[in-house]
């Protein structure tokens, strides 16, 4: 990502992206497209809107009118979370857990994805099959053996490492890296190799800038997993000081829901607290998801 110069950034931040859309179609004719997107957005946002509204209500109301409340707003649902959960400590734990997973995935997973896509070596087929397999094995099948192994053989109960271990390199992210490296034209690589560039340099300076949106997408995917994961960190840590936000909130939800005046308000308030940092991060980074330009990549 060191390749992004200030110059490129300004290009990327222009409203019209550099790729695909032919310029003559940009202006007036994009209305149907906007309408399509708006309808879709409405469908997507409505449940979330509903969630936010319900989390602000004292009493649940399932009627149509109940979706558009005009009164009865309260922050009680949020206040009680704050009273029961150590938000700062939980956030720090979530940050450590998620951050470590992202770091491992980006560094080690990227290398593996590149090797799987672009390098011919012994055992590539096996590794690819193993990668697919790992994704499809349901966690419910592995949970207890995995837990026994990590706790008993590796002695990692009540530790960050034990929490991180099974998530360390996200298989789906490796798969995404591989698919995107495969999409790049062969000429690019052979030309660079003829020029005498080493593989690490090809990966870093040529391939990576081209697949930057994919890398970000994979980071996002990697982020969501540990961020929302409840069962595993809970199994590993009984010590409340080590538990990430998702676990604290799940505990909170299971202990208050059902008896609160607005049980769904309590659940949804918990969910909003959990989702808020993720949404914020996404809003900050969203423009980079399409920011890529083949030309600048080749130059680098």
Partner 1 sequence: MNMKKTTTLGLGLALALSTAACGGGNGGDGGSEATSATGPIKIWLSNNPEELAWGNKMVEAWNKANPDQKVTAQEIPAGKSSEEVIGAAITAGNAPCLVFNTAPAAVPQFEKQGGLVPLDSFADGKEYIESRTGDAATQYQSPDGKYYQLPWKANPVMIFYNKDLLKKAGVDPENPPLSTYDEFLDTSDKIVSSGAAQAAIWPAPSSEFYQSWFDFYPLYAAETGGTQLVEDDKATFNSTEGKAVADFWATMYEKGYAQKEAYKADSFADGKAAMAIVGPWAIAVYGDSVNWGVAPVPTSTGIAPEDTYTFSDAKNVAMYSACKAQGTAWEVLKFATSEEQDGALLEETGQMPMREDVASAYPDYFKANPEYQTFADQAARTVEVPNVTNSIEIWQDFRDDYSKAVIFGETDVDSALADAADKVDGLAGQ
Partner 2 sequence: MLTTVLGRQPLGLAFAAPYAVFLVLIFAYPVGLAVWISFHDYFFTAPGVAVDRPFVGLDNYTAVLGDPEVHKAFLNVAVFLVINVPLTVVLSLVLATALNGAVRGRIFFRVCYFVPYISASVAVVAVWLFLFSNGGFVNQLLGPLAPDPSWLINKGLAMPLIALFVTWKQLGFFILLYLAALQNVGKELYESAAMDGAGKLGSFMNITVPGVRPATTLVVILSIITGANLFTEPYLLTNGGGPNGASASPVLLMYQRGIEQGNPDTAAAIGVLLMIAFLIIAFVNKRFLERD
Per CB under 8 A, the segment of 18-26, 76-84, 93-101, 233-241 that binds partner 2 is: 18-26
- CB-nearer residue toward partner 1: 190 or 255: 255
Is position 103 an interface residue for partner 2 (rule: CB under 8 A)? no
The residues, ordered by sequence, that sit 6+ positions from 176 with a Cβ below 8 Å of its Cβ are: 113, 214, 217, 218, 221
The count of chain residues that interact with partner 1, using the rule CB under 8 A, is 25
Residue placing its CB nearer to partner 1 in the complex, 240 or 278: 240
Q: How far is CA 162 from the centre of its chain?
A: 21
Hey, which residues between 170 and 229 contact partner 2 (CB under 8 A)?
172, 174-176, 179-180, 182-184, 199, 210-211, 213-214, 216-217, 220-221, 224, 227-228
Residues in 130-189 that interact with partner 1 by CB under 8 A:
143-144, 147-148, 151-152, 157
- Which of 126, 219, 205 lies closest to 177, judged by CA? 219
- C-alpha distances (whole Å) from 198 to each of 4, 153, 237 are 21, 39, 44
Work out which of 166, 226, 233, 244 binds partner 2, going by CB under 8 A: 166
The answer to whether 50 contacts partner 1 (rule: CB under 8 A) is: no
The answer to the question of residue 271 lying near partner 1 (CB under 8 A) is no
Tokens 């994919």 — which residue? 214
Smallest CA-to-CA distance from 292 within 186, 213, 202 is with 213
Judge whether 237 and 247 are in contact, CB under 8 Å: yes
Within 8 A by CB and 6+ apart from 53, the residues are 67, 68, 69
231 is an interface residue for partner 1 by CB under 8 A: yes
238 contributes a contact to partner 2 by CB under 8 A: no
**Positions in 130-149 near partner 2 (CB under 8 A):** 130-146, 148-149
State which of residues 51, 163, 208, 256 lies at the interface with partner 2 (CB under 8 A): 51
Is 122 near partner 2 (CB under 8 A)? yes
DSSP states of 278-292: HHHHHHHHGGGGS--
């Amino acid at each position: 990502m060191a390749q992004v110069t200030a110059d490129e950034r300004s290009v990327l931040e222009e409203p019209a992206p550099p790729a695909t859309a032919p310029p003559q179609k940009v202006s007036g004719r994009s209305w149907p497209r906007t309408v399509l997107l708006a309808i879709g957005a409405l469908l997507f946002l409505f449940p979330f809107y509903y969630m936010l509204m319900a989390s602000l209500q004292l009493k649940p109301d399932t009627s149509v009118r109940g979706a558009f409340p005009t009164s009865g707003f309260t922050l009680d649902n949020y206040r009680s979370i704050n009273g029961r959960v150590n938000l700062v400590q939980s956030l720090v734990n979530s940050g450590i857990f998620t951050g470590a997973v992202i770091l491992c995935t980006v560094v080690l997973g990227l290398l593996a994805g590149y090797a799987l896509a672009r390098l011919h070596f012994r055992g590539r087929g096996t590794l690819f099959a193993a990668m697919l397999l790992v994704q499809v094995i349901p966690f419910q099948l592995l949970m207890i053996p995995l837990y026994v192994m990590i706790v008993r053989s590796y002695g990692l109960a009540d530790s960050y490492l034990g929490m991180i271990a099974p998530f360390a390199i996200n298989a789906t992210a490796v798969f995404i890296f591989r698919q995107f490296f495969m999409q790049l034209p062969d000429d690019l690589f052979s030309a660079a190799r003829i020029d005498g560039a080493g593989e690490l340099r090809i990966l870093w300076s040529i391939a990576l800038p081209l697949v930057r949106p994919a890398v970000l997408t994979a980071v996002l995917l990697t982020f969501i997993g540990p961020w929302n994961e409840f069962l595993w960190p809970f199994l590993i840590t009984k010590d409340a000081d080590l538990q990430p936000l998702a676990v604290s909130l799940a505990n909170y939800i299971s202990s208050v829901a059902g008896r609160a005046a607005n049980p769904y308000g309590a659940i949804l308030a918990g969910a909003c607290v959990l989702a808020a940092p993720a949404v914020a991060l996404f809003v900050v980074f969203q423009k980079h998801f399409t920011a890529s330009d083949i030309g600048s990549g080749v130059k680098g």
